[in-house]
Structure 1
């Protein structure tokens, strides 16, 4: 009874601390296995699959415990986690389309290099599904990260923060969580300074992506919206701007135009195409 009253009276502080704990638990789950093998070794990948799967099972119960009655009165637990049927089809495709538009430049580069032809080959997809690295990067990582850092954390942050504030606060934890890669980089031979620079860069772009992902989650009210965007972004990777110079002059102009056009269209479309009305979202973001 005392703990329940404390949570109700200090919901903001408790919510933030709970999110920090979820972040630490997610990262810690990756290191409970003592091994000298690299993170890309099949044995390590399988063990970490099991760890994050357990985290995915436990996280919603943790979230439910720290949600106040006032929060739960606005919608059931499934709605807070972004699991609902209303607006599901729109949430599955519209935010993905928006993300594809943002990557118009890299997609143009892939087209000119002939990569698109590879996508039409069934062997390409079959071989990828048999590759644990590909499955980790394209499925397990996006699924577990979006579930823990968006579906389970954002409802807690929204107990004390405005939606637009939560969009930027939550992703900082998501970015910080990626600093654990620094330890692995040092382990394989990186100098501390080099590892810190790489991890700082990774923190920056993962935080920015996290803000975009959180925005999609809160605007659509659906877990699937940031998930599909995350899978696509992981597939594309960070844009290789330096590779533009490897193309012939006319193709360079086309690629640069696609980069600029994609960014401009994304900025123009971001708010209207994520309108809560499209997704029947009445929980997280007032229209």
Structure 2
């Protein structure tokens, strides 16, 4: 089996642990068979922030991350030339401590975080204080700590460890980013149920409700794919090119992406040219700042 096939199977297993839960599996099947019954399942299926859903998915995610860590331990230990210097954890030794150079690892992490903040300077300027109006503590912890950590361990550290054995840096980053984007497809199930609620609530005359619900839900996927694919490219580049397999810097970058969110470009609708100029300058200056910082770090890492 090819490396891409192996990564695809691993990706399916990583996401598929959600559906080991009977409630999750039943809800997905009902969405495909009987949307009305799926909608009647209750908020624990429709809202990922529901406490019961949060607990189920947290258990699945932590379990998948732990298995990914163990696989990564095996691959990195197998790769090590001097196995005696690795210590109790190859992941900690190679990906967190940069083979014992803790100060360098810390420098790369801080520099990458600053580069990411620079990249999103336009978005930060547009959103302003609204960014800090966050959800409950457990939701914030999930979106900005747990998910970035687990996803970067799997999609960047593990998958790129496999892909880079046979492929170029560019193709490896692109493939892992595609898999990262596609892995979010499971969000379509609650979206289908919400579309059904919208149709019924507005008394829309839809003779083929099931098809219409799926079509509307599917139209939301390209935007989700685009954002997650772009995040994958950014973190993959930081992991391989900038940090030379520095996992903390990649996790921080991912966390900042989740916290800040995608750019809105609302400034394009501003009526005054001065505001458009200021916001446009912030976006362009942010891109330039990100490039300068990351290229400098990458040169020093070689």
Q: Which has the larger radius of gyration?
A: 2
Structure 1 and Structure 2 fold alike (TM over 0.5): yes
Q: Work out whether 1:139 is the aligned partner of 2:145.
A: yes
Q: Secondary structure at the match of 1:179?
A: helix
Match of 1:90 in 2: 107
Q: Work out whether 1:23 is the aligned partner of 2:11.
A: yes
Q: Give the 5 Å matches for 1:13-162.
A: 13=2, 15-35=3-23, 36=41, 37=44, 38=46, 39-64=48-73, 69=78, 71-73=79-81, 77-78=90-91, 82-84=95-97, 85-86=100-101, 87-111=104-128, 114-115=129-130, 130-162=136-168
**1:236-260 alpha-carbon deviations (Å, 9 max, x no partner):** 1111123663686543431122112
Q: Secondary structure at the match of 1:56?
A: helix
Match of 1:6 in 2: none
Change (3 A) 1:92 1:64: closer
Q: Give the 5 Å matches for 1:239-258.
A: 239-242=263-266, 245=269, 250-258=274-282
Q: Distance in 1 between matches of 2:125 and 2:171?
A: 34
Which ranges of structure 2 fall in alignment gaps of 5 or more residues?
A: 24-40, 197-212
Change (3 A) 1:182 1:81: farther
The two structures have a TM-score, normalised by structure 1, of 0.77
Change (3 A) 1:177 1:254: same
Change (3 A) 1:149 1:106: same
Match of 1:165 in 2: 171
Match of 2:29 in 1: none
Higher helix residue share: 2
Shift in Å, 1:271: 2.5
Change (3 A) 1:88 1:64: closer
Q: Distance in 1 between matches of 2:297 and 2:92?
A: 21
1:218 corresponds, among 232, 237, 240, to: 240
Paired residues in the alignment total 254
The two structures have a TM-score, normalised by structure 2, of 0.74
Q: Secondary structure at the match of 1:238?
A: coil
Which ranges of structure 1 fall in alignment gaps of 5 or more residues?
A: 1-9, 279-286
Aligned CA RMSD, in angstroms, stands at 2.7
